[in-house]
Amino acid sequence: MESGKIIDNGGQSESSTVDKSPVSWQVDSLTTTEPIVDDVKGYLDQVQNGKQSPTNWTNETEETECTEPTTVDSGVQPSVEEWTGKTSLVWADSARNMEEILKAYMQNTNSRFTSWKTTKGFLKEITDIRKYKITFEDARVKTRPEQQIKYSGTPYIISGQKIYECEFGIDRNITTKKRLLDIKAVEMLRKLSGQEDQGVSNDAKVVRRRGPRFCKKFGCPVRIIIREAIFFPDYKAKGNTEKYKRKVTRALTEDWNAGKKIEMKRMILMPLPPAEMHQNHPSALDRKKRRRSRKKLYRNAETGQEIVGDKDHDVIGDNVDEDAENINDQFAMTVGGGGSLLRHVRIWSRCMMDLVRKLNNFHQPGSSKDLCRPLMVKNNQCGTIPFPVLDVLQNYQDTFPFVKDDKTGNIKYVTVNDQLITADQRTQAIDIIIKQFREKKLFVTLNGWRDEVYPVSSSFGGEIYFELERSATCLFGIHRYGVHVNGYVKNAQNEMFMWIGKRSEAKQTWPGKLDNTVGGGMAARMTVHGTLIKECIEEAAIPEELARQSRSAGTVSYMYEDERGVFPETQFVFDLEMPESFQPVNIDGEVDAFYLLTIEEVKTLIATDEFKPNSALVILDFLIRHGFIEPDTEPYYTEFVKGMHC
């Protein structure tokens, strides 16, 4: 069997040396109550033994009492505690000293950082202090007290900064990679449709580029923001008031304009975060095990046993290090894959995780969840009304009375008038209001009017309180149900293929997108199996006898919001193994074509914008259930499963 079968239906560099001219830097004469780290190894040993406290490498930072620091012009540099009130801060006096501290810190915390951004003035000679803001205390980092320079009376400027990010930090090429994945999907579809060599116009052609590469970025938020402070020890404010500060600033500026020799002292501020701040990756893994985990697996020709070998040469025999064999951490070794999982994180996983979050955005921070109010009937919640609809319903309280809190006066929930006793009465009254909304064009979702009603109840199979136009269900956050069928084929070699449909361009929702073999919503007075058979016949001409062979595979649930409203949905999922000779054909005009694709092709496509989002989630569930996505090789495995059953 061949796949691709189609049935048509009509930074900037820094200097390694520091200028020590009399006009600029005077760092040799600095002395500190806490030594600036010349002997890094010895310093770290003292830190570990509790003899030094400027930096706590592994524990959370502790705030200490901030006392008035020793004056700079007295020849004694203030201690770390005096300057910052935190024990997570280290001062360096040169670029070399900074690099040594950073290297020792990374070795000690078993972490690795890469340079992301460097400002132009960082570690450069100051040519004009008027370009910088002269300050006495750091007010810009109140949200980061561990980086704050406390008031000492000595003016200073921040001449530049350099930002380091964790090696597993933010992937800044994510947008480009997603675009490349979409280009790959478009090229695949054109090939399947036979358009690749049919004289497509130049404007429509897609430039072939290298696809997205493997990426080890996990979105770790940890940064080291190193700032360079230039102090002017010959000047000091008498008090911490704006009057004294302005006087000193004016004197410093006038002396600079007059060409006087001004002593400057450079100090590099290094806030080093504790190891526990790292997220989304195994920061505690031993480097030695990390190196071992990158070794390949080889099979002993005599015994057939899988053993660990070096990348550069084969290892034959049983003498394998026990530590390398017994690494059980999921990030240490890919089962059967022979390589670190960190090297196999793909953009596909990131795109799918974005899709899962998008389909569950109602429960995520930043949603309008707190502004919504329940829709109650007979003391049971049957919907969630978004704030824009609440605002309009204030004019329809004869049908939708508001129940408010006696103390605060805030709306607790919205109900339906108790005088509307039967489901038919509620349906007629609400239908009149919805049609008024449509006439007034109040909500964009009503532009896709379906003339199809959905049942409204507090639970699946429960009492039906009323029926509502399908396009209006999102205005009241009504839970909707649907049926999706994964139609697949197995050939003689037991290779699996899937039938994927392409939605008609005339569809009101998601026109032209790829979709499941069969899928449709459950209308009022329809059962799950009744909907299954109906959709199979209409969308793919699957006979009832074959449709009844569909195997129930559970549900996929999610809840999202967009500009139309709130969508709590549950899809009943069925798997249907179809004969090799069967070819689906659309009858109702809702599908333009069917593609027979390999599992890898399907897996690639569901992560792109070419696929209908909730259908992609159903296929993701299929791939997990059939073992095409494994927990040992997929870093977002648990998030995927959780996001499909919200």
557-601 pLDDT, tens digit per residue, is: 999 999 999 999 999 999 999 999 999 999 989 999 999 999 999
Structure tokens at 455: 């049942």
pLDDT per position as a tens digit, 159-178? 889 999 888 787 777 666 66
pLDDT at residue 526 greater than cutoff 70: yes
CB 500 within 8 A of CB 578: no
Residue 43 has pLDDT above 70, yes or no: no
At 99-125, the pLDDT tens digits run 888 888 888 887 888 888 898 888 888
Residue pair 265/26 in contact (Cβ under 8 Å)? The answer is yes
pTM: 0.58
C-alpha to C-alpha distance for 624 and 450, rounded to whole angstroms = 34
Averaged over 22-36, what is the pLDDT? 31
Higher pLDDT, 81 or 466: 466
Comparing 312 with 564, the larger pLDDT belongs to 564
- What is residue 344's predicted lDDT score, i.e. its pLDDT? 34
The pair phi, psi for residue 40, each rounded to 5°, is -65, -45
* Among candidate residues 521, 628, 596, 623, the one with its CA nearest the CA of residue 188: 596
Identify the helix (H) or strand (E) that includes residue 481: strand 480-490
Q: How far apart are the C-alpha atoms of 8 and 516, rounded to whole Å? A: 16
| Average pLDDT for the chain | 75
Mapped onto helix, strand or coil, the DSSP state of residue 394 is helix
Residue 2 has pLDDT above 60, yes or no: no
Between 273 and 294, residue with greater pLDDT: 273
* Mean pLDDT for the stretch of residues 407-426: 94
Q: How far is CA 208 from CA 179, 203, 205, in A?
A: 12, 14, 9
Summarised one tens digit per residue, pLDDT across range 595-628 is 999 999 999 899 888 899 999 999 999 999 999 9
Contact 102, 270 (CB under 8 A): yes
At 114 the pLDDT is: 87
CATH number of 369-475, picked from 3.30.750.160, 3.40.50.12280, 3.20.20.70, 3.40.50.720: 3.30.750.160
| Nearest Cα residue to 595 out of 3, 196, 197, 1 | 3
Q: Name the phi and psi angles at 274, rounded to 5.
A: -70, 155
Which residues 6+ apart lie within 8 Å of 366 measured at CB?
none
Virtual torsion, Cα 547, 548, 553, 554, nearest 10 deg = 110
What are the residue ranges of CATH 3.90.79.10 in the chain?
Answer: 347-358+480-643
pLDDT band of 314, cuts 50, 70, 90: very low
If 0-12 CB within 10 Å is exposed, 13-18 middle and 19+ buried, where does residue 474 land?
Answer: buried
Which residues belong to CATH 3.30.750.160 in the chain?
369-475
Q: Average the pLDDT over each of 167-176, 299-308, 504-513 and give the range with the smallest value.
A: 299-308
Number of residues written out for the chain: 646
Overall fold of domain 347-358+480-643 = Nucleoside Triphosphate Pyrophosphohydrolase (3.90.79)
Positive/negative CA dihedral, 500, 504, 508, 513: positive
